[in-house]
Amino acid sequence: MKAAVYMGPGKIEVKEVETPKPKAGEVLLKIHACAVCGTDVRIFYHGQKNVVPPHITGHEFAGSIAEIGPGVTGFKKGDKVTSVTCVGCQKCLYCKKGLYNLCDTPRYLGYYYPGAFAEYMIIPKEAIDGGNLLKAPGSLSFPAITMVEPLSCVINGQDYLKVQKGDFAVVIGAGPIGCMHAEIAKASGAKTVVLFDVSESRLELAKRFDGLVLVNSAKEEPVKKVMDMTGGCGADVIVVACGVNAAQEQAVAMAAKLARISLFASLPKDNPFIKLDANIVHYKEVSVYGAFASYKKQYEKALSLIAEKKIQAEKFITHTYPLKDIVTAFETSKKGTGLKTVVTME
């Protein structure tokens, strides 16, 4: 099979490698498409300690079942599938609750296990046993299925926020994840969704989504803007989808009474601190949540939101490249001039 083999920072070779055979308990997938995640790009440029070259990355994939190893039940050849990325240990407190994303010793497809920037990929026995492999409705296109993983992470963030009908929602950061947050908030019944970004080109891209209020936060101060728009009440739901310390502080400052805030993006490792006005949290009864990756229930929710067309998955894809052009795909993703970039194997 053809695979994009990561050989160390800045080095990737698209070449012929041996097609894996599924052993007992494993499933072999034919990969049709795999979207580029920010972490794939970071690994390519900078490496990562738990990704040991030579290795195949890629975890936002859409495949079909090519071959089923002995002992696997519930699937048949040709089923359209994707998978929960995080393979839990099944022993820790969090795995027992089904929260593989919080596993004490997690192993990820595309990081620890070989991933999907290849024509075929093995789903390991631990993932099959853990129920990670998910069937997708036949009506979904392969590119649409690649959006399930990033959407599931966004749903994990918003599960805490409990967006109500009529809520005033704010998303800070209009990258692909920010746009997904805006769309999920809208689908959950928010009456107004304001999307802030400092980049005019990002806001331009977000115009493809109907009904969002797009504001350039370099030109209009976000807290003042939200207070003006809400008659001084503030926003009910705020998602910070950019790794900017000041944006997290703004989120607290623009909160309404009983607001829910998601600090969705991580901050720079060397400066993960913010100045939090704890009295706003106290007097306004504001809730502040974190979110990391996602678990099975949220993948299933993402699949049904796409199948019901409440989320138009293909709208998030602005660039598509064949596997041989994977470096261009990474470069495109890094530049941030589009939303999601997808690599196709056919």
Instruction: List interacting residues with Zn ion (CB under 5 A).
Output: 37, 88-89, 92, 95, 103
Q: CB–CB of 72/56 below 8 Å?
A: no
| 3-state SS, residue 102 | helix
> Helix, strand, coil shares of the chain as percentages rounded to 5?
30, 25, 40
Work out how close the CB of 255 gets to Zn ion at its nearest, in angstroms, rounded to a whole number: 29
Work out how close the CB of 201 gets to Zn ion at its nearest, in angstroms, rounded to a whole number: 23
Work out how close the CB of 87 gets to Zn ion at its nearest, in angstroms, rounded to a whole number: 9
Q: Which is closer to Zn ion, CB of 60 or CB of 167? A: 60
Q: Which is closer to Zn ion, CB of 101 or CB of 248? A: 101
Question: Among 74, 57, 67, 66, which residue's Cα sits nearest to residue 133?
Answer: 74
Question: Among 99, 81, 145, 142, which residue's Cα sits nearest to residue 302?
Answer: 145
Q: CB–CB of 103/86 below 8 Å?
A: yes
Q: What are the residues whose beta carbons fall under 8 Å from the beta carbon of 23, sequence distance 6 or more? A: 69, 70, 125
Work out how close the CB of 54 gets to Zn ion at its nearest, in angstroms, rounded to a whole number: 21
Q: Which is closer to Zn ion, CB of 190 or CB of 302? A: 302
Q: Using DSSP bridges, classify how beta strands 235-240 and 107-108 pair: parallel, antiparallel or unpaired.
A: unpaired
Work out how close the CB of 96 gets to Zn ion at its nearest, in angstroms, rounded to a whole number: 8
Strands of 164-273, DSSP E: 168-172, 192-197, 213-216, 235-240, 255-263
Which residue do the tokens 């607290």 mark?
252
Work out how close the CB of 92 gets to Zn ion at its nearest, in angstroms, rounded to a whole number: 3
Q: Which is closer to Zn ion, CB of 99 or CB of 215? A: 99
Q: Which is closer to Zn ion, CB of 134 or CB of 237? A: 134
Q: Which is closer to Zn ion, CB of 101 or CB of 192? A: 101
